[in-house]
Structure 1
Amino acid sequence: MSAFSIQPLIDGRSLPLLLKAGDVGRPLDEALPLLRAVIDRHLTDCGGIVFRDFSLDGPDAFRVFAAGFGHPLLTYEFGSTPRSQVTSGVYTSTEYPPHQHIPLHNEQAYTRDWPMKIWFYCVQPALEGGETPIADSRAIYSDMPTAIRERFADKGVMYVRNYGNGLDVDWQDVFGTDSRSEVEAYCAGHDIECEWKDDGELRTRQVCQGTARHPVTGEWVWFNQAHLFHVSNLDSEVRESLLDVVGDEMHLPRNAFYGDGSRIEDETLSVVRATLDRHKISFPWQAGDVVMLDNMLTAHARAPFKGPRKVIVAMAEANRQS
């Protein structure tokens, strides 16, 4: 392993580790057999690894690298944000406007099915900003006030989504089909309640975990997206405008409640957001960097940016909450 070095990227922090190529420009996908043992040993300890000074010859090489860990790459099913497929199993990162901040979250923690591994490949860093901050979900869980943590653990989170009508993504795009029967079959197989409204649009409800236990380490993590889906995540003007249109919070494009259907207090989610932010770790992208995360142990975000930015994503190793 003299061809590689591994050390903390940031002094005094174990997350993330930096794994650098001894031979600058060595193809990352070709180095995978040598790297796998190192990654297997360190990833569940630190939660995230940055690969630097390797070479990836575009999205196909990135796909080969991510798939080389022994699990088929996952398709982006039941998505909540706009993104485009680059190649098989590889997608653009969330296509929100550059000025928009994306808060810390674990990928697809708003479902009972999520990837255990996620990779980000920086094809082109932004001229300014555009970092992908990360945070230790174990530390967030430990730091969360006990009353809030226990409430989320006991009740879970119910996500309500109303699709289309020009207010949110269309159900056809989310489910990848124009067939109502296929949507109903998917929902039945994933414990999602669905109903067709009088206007022909779709509403779904799903009760999911508020916290979760890692299947390998046994550690508890903060694992939900209530702070993203909840109406309090909207600017007050946008919130009031939407409520004027739809009438009540159950009809908003998306919202989050406790699993029993009761309202999550705005004040509670303010504490949740502050706790998440306390654990945020940020570092600048370099062109060619790959970041590999254990998706349960480490949350990720996106900082606003200026200028062109291209980061692509792959996911693997499906896990399902019983």
Structure 2
Amino acid sequence: MNADSRMLMTENLTAGGALPLLVKPAAPGVALSEVAAELRALTERHLLRCGGLLFRGFAVAGPAEFKTFAAGFGHPLLSYEFGSTPRTRVEEGVYTSTEYPPHQSIPLHNEQAYTREWPMKIWFYSALVAERGGETPIAGSREIYRRIDPAIRRRFEAQGLMYVRNFGNGLDVPWAQVFNTEDPSVVERYCRAHDIDCEWKEDGELRTRQICQATARHPVTGDWVWFNQAHLFHVSNLEPDVREALLDVVEPEDLPRNVYYGDGSPIEDGILNEIRGVLDELTISFPWQTGDIMMLDNMLAAHARSPFSGPRKVVVAMAEPYSQTLSA
């Protein structure tokens, strides 16, 4: 354990490396608000190197103080626009983590890597620990990039990825919730501004298509990272019986979500399985403690969710929007 300042101690949480860097108070009972400035300075020194920090052992007075802490890093907290999963707003700029059923896993991903604009910073606050499971596994996106088969990486980079989403119909999040509006013209303006193709189907529901990056370069470190959600959006991510049941009732183009190569050709299941294998090998998992706050550089570290039982409350904040061109 290292004394990073008079009031803070740092150490590697796991034997596997510096992600996440564990940050604790030098003495028990220190309120988060008392050391917020020191924590921001420590983050400035370490975040780009390790990709993520876990603040543990500080007294946190609930989501409102978490919001103040996250906003204190100098960027307004973001609303959850063009989201892909159901969430509930807790405070302005603070949302529940993805509200999928507890028995489901959420694979490793970088937040909003299925778009061309994403938050650079993301924070998680563990307000209530599940009785069992419920971890938020993470992995280093630089190492994922290095481990992916170069032939797969080159193909993904050359063609890009086309994400296709069909909203509503009881199969996915309604478009009004995703775009925070009931007005189709507002949706259309948003899509034009973000290079998203949109069409209103005969049943009044919405389909969107967007071509996005497979990898990206960090604007500060210059490191290349694996940065997409192909393995998560692809139909092969569904359990075989769910996939079969869906395709019995909708055509492939009407699946709630799917992803293709940028030219619209299908991505082979085997390639996605190989990518998932790399993610599995690099997963870092640890149990939450009540009051933990984890901060990630969203380009340098991916995150996931493990199944759980019992009540669990993890809330999320995001900040610092950023985008790159596909040729970056």
Tell me which amino acid in the other structure corresponds to 2:315. Answer: I
Q: Deviations over 1:181-204 (max 9, x none)?
A: 000000001110000111111100
Report the 3-state secondary structure (helix = DSSP H, G, I; strand = E; otherwise coil) of the residue aligned with 1:296.
Answer: coil
> Are positions 1:29 and 2:33 aligned together?
yes
Q: CA deviation at 1:12?
A: 4.2
CA distance in 1, matches of 2:66, 2:102: 24
Alpha carbons 1:126, 1:309 under 8 Å: kept: yes
The correspondence for 2:222, drawn from 200, 218, 223, is 218
2:18 pairs with 1:14: yes
The residue aligned with 1:119 is: 123
Find the partner of 1:100 among 80, 99, 104.
Answer: 104
Written as runs of structure 1 = structure 2, the 5 A alignment for 1:105-184 is 105-184=109-188
* 1:93-149 deviation digits (Å, cap 9, x = unpaired): 000111101110000000011000000000111111111000000000000001111
Letter in 2 for 1:260: D
Q: Who is 1:60 aligned against?
A: 64
**Does residue 69 of the first structure (1) align with residue 73 of the second (2)?**
yes
CA distance in 2, matches of 1:318, 1:27: 29
Post-superposition shift, 1:11? 2.5
Out of 260, 264, 283, the residue aligned to residue 267 of structure 2 is: 264
Q: Which amino acid aligns with 2:75?
A: H
Partner of residue 46 from structure 1, selected from 47, 50, 67: 50
TM-score when normalising by structure 2 = 0.96
Unmatched 5+ stretches in structure 2: none
Q: Is the 8 A contact 1:109 1:225 kept in 2?
A: yes
1:311 aligns with 2:314: yes
Is the contact between residue 29 and residue 62 of structure 1 (CA under 8 Å) also seen in structure 2? Answer: no
Q: Which amino acid aligns with 1:288?
A: G
**Contact 1:160-1:204 at 8 Å conserved across structures:** yes
Match of 2:240 in 1: 236
Distance in 2, matches of 1:75 and 1:234, equals 28
Deviation at 1:293, TM superposition (A): 0.3
Deviation, structure 1 residue 29: 3.0
**2:258 & 2:115 partners in 1: Cα distance?**
14
Superposed displacement of residue 34, structure 1: 1.6
Residue 291 of structure 1: which of 286, 289, 294 is its match?
294
| Structure 1 unmatched ranges of 5 or more | none
> What's the % identity of the aligned pairs?
65
Q: Aligned match of 1:277 in 280, 296, 299?
A: 280
Instruction: For 1:309, give the aligned amino acid.
Output: R
Give the length in aligned residue pairs.
321
CA separation in 1, counterparts of 2:33 and 2:119?
21
Instruction: Tell me the distance in 2 between the aligned counterparts of 1:23 and 1:57.
Output: 18
Cα distance change of structure 1 residues 12 and 261 upon mapping to structure 2, 3 Å threshold: closer
Distance 1:5 1:240 in 2: 52
What is the CA distance between 1:30 and its match in structure 2? 3.2
